[in-house]
Amino acid sequence: MFQETVIFRAVRTLCTGGVVAAASLLSQSAMAQDTQAGEAPLQRVEVTGSSIKRIAAEGALPVTILTADAIRASGATSVTDLVKNLSSAQGSTGETGSVGGSTFGFSGISVHNVGETRTLVLLNGKRLAQFGGQTLTGFAAGFDLNSIPISAIERVELLTDGASALYGADAIAGVVNFITKHDTTKGDVTIGYSSPKDGAREKRISATKGFGNVDEDGYNVVLTFGHDERTKLASVDRSFANTGKVQFSANGKRYQKQQFSASPIPANATDDLGQLISPYQRTNGSCPEKTFRVIEPYNDGSGLADDYCGYDFTKDLEIYPERKRDNFMASATFKIAGHEVFSDVLLSRSKQVSRIAPVPGAISIDAGSALHTKYLLPLGITGDSTAYYRLFDMGQRTSNDTAEFASVVVGTRGNAAGWDYNATYNFSESRVKGSIAGYPGAIAVGKLTSSGLLDPFVGPGQQSAAAQQAIKDATYSGYWDGGTSRLQTINLNGSRELMRLAGGGLMLGVGANINREEFSSKPSLFAQGALADPAAGVLCGGTSGLECDQRFGDAASSLPYSASRTSKGVFGELIAPVLKQLELGAALRVDDFSDFGNATTAKASFKWTPAPALLIRGSVGNGFHAPTVPQVNARQTGYGVTSEKYTCTPALQAIATSLNAVCQSGNRQYDQLAGGNRDLKPEKSRQATLGFRYEPFNALTLGADLWHVQIRDSFGQLTEQLVFANPANFPGSWGVNTDVGTGKTYLAFLANNQNLGKSYATGVDVDVSVRYRSPIGLLTSQLNVTQMLREQIQLERDGAYYSAIGNFAELGTVTFRTRGQLATTLKTGNWANTLTVNFRSGYRDQETSVEVLDNAGNVTGQEDIRMKVGFFSTLDWQTVWTPRESWALTAGVLNLLDKNPPFVPSTSGSGRGQQFGYDDRYYDSRGRTLYVNASYRF
């Protein structure tokens, strides 16, 4: 009967997780041979995706295992870096998304780009609380990988087939199970250092020690601690990210793309026709420092154009944020009366600091005022004006985010009345606190201007001493927003053999669980718009009669709320080896949600071994995914601005008029609103897999798993591009927002949560391993590839279908058609050298408006283009030296050739920060990175 050997699992581990030392492969190969020869019996263990304890090699579902050796040898310094190299992981959020975005440093994982919210993350098979900083749209409604110390991980099991009966029907994309170190007395101390050029340098230390043997001493305790720190990386330290003004060639032409803000220093202002001009440029004939001239014709047929100085905010970004992390984990097991009582405790804290350009915003300049008379009247501007200004003297806007996570699991396991049982209670909580600096209130800035202290038309550092002090006094520094997510779960499950069949024992697994989810949104008084003087903390409204202020530049208030849900579930699972060559499986689960009623889901699977070297397997099932608590219950609030600029067309003007609002003049970004939706329906899915494993001889292993996921009533928001293209077709997608700084009520885009429609995704995960014992050592080469075959997604119910495969357009993201890794290791004595090729296919970038240049570099017009981003690959090198069993020294280079990310001119997209010139969601800006790790084991 075909069994997936241990060496084959190690090979697949290498393919998905990075690099596996050849020494590990040799030892595991010997272990597999001994087991197959009958010298050591295979033990039954819990395998991700099933409630039944069974031999790991027997699984009928596609589970990839990353061993501790694979993790150490991968060069990954964190769980985040580890999983982002998996070929089957696409669409995950990284730390750089915090640059200009409200991510609070969240890092998640999405399997096959089906979604982070549909990918279930477990710790030792237990659910964990979702991120406390998740948004009301569902972003970051997953587990923050920064909370798990990589030093505590024994192995990672990745199930790429979803809707598990054991864990819950909501794991539509798959399950990632982090298994920590248990039942060991070994100790390990590791120190490491990573050094990219000019920034993002990292130092780390971790220690693990186990005490006691469960069988001999009746107890075991394992303690793990990890600490790491990383410095910032500034945009100006990378040639591909240091400016918002880039000239490039494509399609046989020369182009220019300018990424900028219309709020510079000195300020731009509107003239009597509503056009944006630069008083500084009109007076001096050139734009000031850190800006460039921008000419934007209106596309409404009026013949008008904005002619102003755009601020190059890209130069002020820190594209990799500072970070400090501390993790502690304790696992204890005690043997009492033949049963095990155990507990796992995880405590973690991540602190991240990200900085972007000084705050921009709008200031009203009334006709007849001193500023108007001095700067605007000489230019022929006679009416009221609005100045678009950047408070440069207040310094960079800074986000200082802290994410704390705690998890406690207590339980008992063992055998009773012929049942292998496991009963647990687990409590987990994610607390997120986001503090800010460099922000004033909009009314406070207006008062500075009207008092005559603040002059928005002078350059950096040119304010009077009194104005500088007033700016300092108006600066808010402190807590801004955050939240708490809590999960409590009681689980009881067991398995046993019911009877003997022709192929073995008929196995039954049953279980039940109760979950209690809670979420609290905790905006500060400033974020709620409840302060008259944010810097001093003075309350507004009520008996005070003081006007409430909001944040300058993105005035919007959010209200606190709390909500919860309870869910209960029961499940049963059967594994029936009807023949020695054929095993069938079936599972049924029933869930009851306090807010969404009942759901019944099922799964069927098979495993067939027609020949000793060939295994064929498959499964089919359905899933049920309720929206998050915030997606349903959050109050409507300001949600930033649109990613693109839009002109006030007659259709937009009609919408604005109907809402008694002002339509933005010229090409402007619009305020965005969002809120929960109590009418949301759950997502429902169907999944299927079909795969094989073939090992014709010991030196070659082949495998492939075809997978398919289809979802209906998917959660999301109508895209701004769709709504702005046809404003009248979406009357429910509009609202208003009042800017307290100018007092004007503007038309706003309303992006509430909705059930959008259906989606389909199909692909294949392929792995190939070749092993050869050469005269100089053992040579292994492993290839792992995920190939996307189909993706179709609706942006509205009964609407057209779109695909992101090789296409950055309507969906605001890219799904790479091909993504993979090829690793080759040579083991010679106590040395192991590995060369790894990481690769992904190209795509067509989003359509972008650029300027056309002539041979002399002059702008001759504008053109909409779609760039082709080519195939991209990087090389990693690693050397491992183990002079003795207790010592190991690992040195390597990531991105060996220091290859820059490909240039992309697009500027929008779901989850993107403010970086320009490359897409930080897909490419690492750190460049060539040297690292070294030294480990002492005892």
| Interatomic CA distance for residues 455 and 440, integer angstroms | 16
| Interatomic CA distance for residues 516 and 14, integer angstroms | 38
Query: In angstroms, what CA-CA distances link 810 with 258, 720, 793?
Result: 22, 10, 10
Q: Contact, 609 vs 581, CB < 8 A?
A: yes
- Give me 66's structure tokens: 């990353």
What is the structure's pLDDT at 461? Answer: 94
A 10 A CB-CB count for 743 gives 11
pLDDT tens digit sequence for 294-342:
988 876 677 788 899 999 999 999 999 999 999 999 999 999 999 999 9
| Interatomic CA distance for residues 911 and 91, integer angstroms | 10
Q: 714 CB contacts (<8 Å, ≥6 apart)?
A: 683, 755, 756, 757, 758, 759, 793, 794
Residues facing residue 599 across a β-bridge:
591
pLDDT tens digit sequence for 101-111:
778 989 999 99
Portion of the chain with pLDDT greater than 90, in percent: 73
> Which amino acid, residue 105?
G
How are beta strands 754-755 and 745-750 bridged, if at all?
A: unpaired
If you write DSSP's letter for every residue of 506-548 in order, what string do you get?
EEEEEEEEEEEEEEEE---TTTTT-EEETTTTEE-SGGG-PPP
Residues facing residue 598 across a β-bridge:
592
Residue 566's pLDDT band (boundaries 50, 70, 90)?
very high
Residue 555's pLDDT band (boundaries 50, 70, 90)?
low
Q: Does 10 score more than 50 pLDDT?
A: no
Tell the burial category of 340 from Cβ atoms under 10 Å away from its Cβ (0-12, 13-18, 19+).
Answer: middle
Q: Does 31 score more than 70 pLDDT?
A: no
| Interatomic CA distance for residues 828 and 438, integer angstroms | 56
Strand order in the sheet with 671-674: 637-641, 671-674, 745-750, 734-738
Find the angle CA(705)-CA(709)-CA(715) to the nearest 5 degrees. Answer: 150
Mean pLDDT confidence for 523-552 = 91
Residue 528's pLDDT band (boundaries 50, 70, 90)?
very high
Q: What is the Cβ-side half-sphere exposure of residue 97, based on CA atoms within 13 angstroms?
A: 21
Q: 724 CB contacts (<8 Å, ≥6 apart)?
A: 642, 646, 652, 749
What is the structure's pLDDT at 96? Answer: 85
Q: Contact, 806 vs 841, CB < 8 A?
A: yes
Residue 54's pLDDT band (boundaries 50, 70, 90)?
very low
Looking at 124-218, which runs of residues are DSSP E strands? 126-127, 153-159, 174-180, 187-196, 202-211
Query: In angstroms, what CA-CA distances link 320 with 233, 235, 237, 925?
Result: 5, 8, 11, 8
Mean pLDDT confidence for 598-603 = 93
Mean pLDDT confidence for 399-407 = 97
Query: In angstroms, what CA-CA distances link 708 with 109, 160, 790, 806?
Result: 19, 10, 9, 18
**Least confident piece of the model among 111-115, 843-847, 913-917:** 913-917
pLDDT tens digit sequence for 442-494:
999 989 998 999 999 999 999 999 999 999 999 999 999 999 999 999 999 99
Query: In angstroms, what CA-CA distances link 657 with 385, 403, 443, 651, 819?
Result: 21, 44, 26, 10, 49
Helical spans, DSSP H, in 147-284: 214-217, 279-284
What is the structure's pLDDT at 70? Answer: 75
Mean pLDDT confidence for 132-142 = 91
Q: Does 41 score more than 60 pLDDT?
A: no
pLDDT tens digit sequence for 739-796:
887 788 999 999 999 999 999 999 999 999 999 999 999 999 999 999 999 999 999 9
Find the angle CA(84)-CA(88)-CA(94) to the nearest 5 degrees. Answer: 25
Mean pLDDT confidence for 911-927 = 89
On average, the pLDDT of the chain sits at 89
| Interatomic CA distance for residues 910 and 924, integer angstroms | 17
What is the structure's pLDDT at 781? Answer: 93
How are beta strands 174-180 and 119-123 bridged, if at all?
A: parallel
What is the structure's pLDDT at 679? Answer: 92
pLDDT tens digit sequence for 570-594:
999 999 999 999 999 999 999 999 9
Helical spans, DSSP H, in 240-374: 279-284, 370-371
Q: Does 90 score more than 50 pLDDT?
A: yes
| Interatomic CA distance for residues 35 and 522, integer angstroms | 56
What is the structure's pLDDT at 377? Answer: 97
More confident residue, 169 or 242: 242
pLDDT tens digit sequence for 686-710:
999 999 999 998 899 999 999 999 9
Q: Does 18 score more than 50 pLDDT?
A: no
A 10 A CB-CB count for 30 gives 12
| Interatomic CA distance for residues 495 and 52, integer angstroms | 5
What is the structure's pLDDT at 51? Answer: 60
What is the structure's pLDDT at 21? Answer: 30
> Which amino acid, residue 131?
F
The kind and range of the H/E element at 101 are none
- 773-777's contacts with Cβ under 8 Å and 24+ in sequence apart are 774/826, 776/826, 776/828, 777/22, 777/826, 777/827, 777/828, 777/829
Q: Does 24 score more than 60 pLDDT?
A: no
A 10 A CB-CB count for 305 gives 15
If you write DSSP's letter for every residue of 272-296 in order, what string do you get?
TTS-EE-HHHHHHSS--TTEEEEEE
Mean pLDDT confidence for 349-363 = 94
Omega before residue 727 within 30° of 0, cis: no
| Interatomic CA distance for residues 561 and 302, integer angstroms | 46
| Interatomic CA distance for residues 814 and 92, integer angstroms | 11
**Least confident piece of the model among 495-499, 552-556, 917-921:** 552-556
What is the structure's pLDDT at 665? Answer: 73
pLDDT tens digit sequence for 264-297:
999 999 999 989 999 999 999 999 999 999 988 8
- What is the number of helices (H) and of strands (E) in the chain? 12, 52
Query: In angstroms, what CA-CA distances link 80 with 44, 276, 834?
Result: 30, 44, 22
Q: What is the Cβ-side half-sphere exposure of residue 642, based on CA atoms within 13 angstroms?
A: 24
The kind and range of the H/E element at 167 are none
pLDDT tens digit sequence for 163-220:
667 778 899 999 999 999 988 999 999 999 999 999 999 999 999 999 999 999 999 9
What is the structure's pLDDT at 162? Answer: 78
Q: What is the DSSP-derived secondary structure letter of residue 27? A: H
Q: Contact, 612 vs 1, CB < 8 A?
A: yes
Query: In angstroms, what CA-CA distances link 319 with 61, 80, 98, 910?
Result: 40, 17, 9, 17
CATH topology of domain 6-209+220-237+320-346+400-422+430-434+490-521+563-631+681-717+754-937: Maltoporin; Chain A (2.40.170)
Mean pLDDT confidence for 10-16 = 33
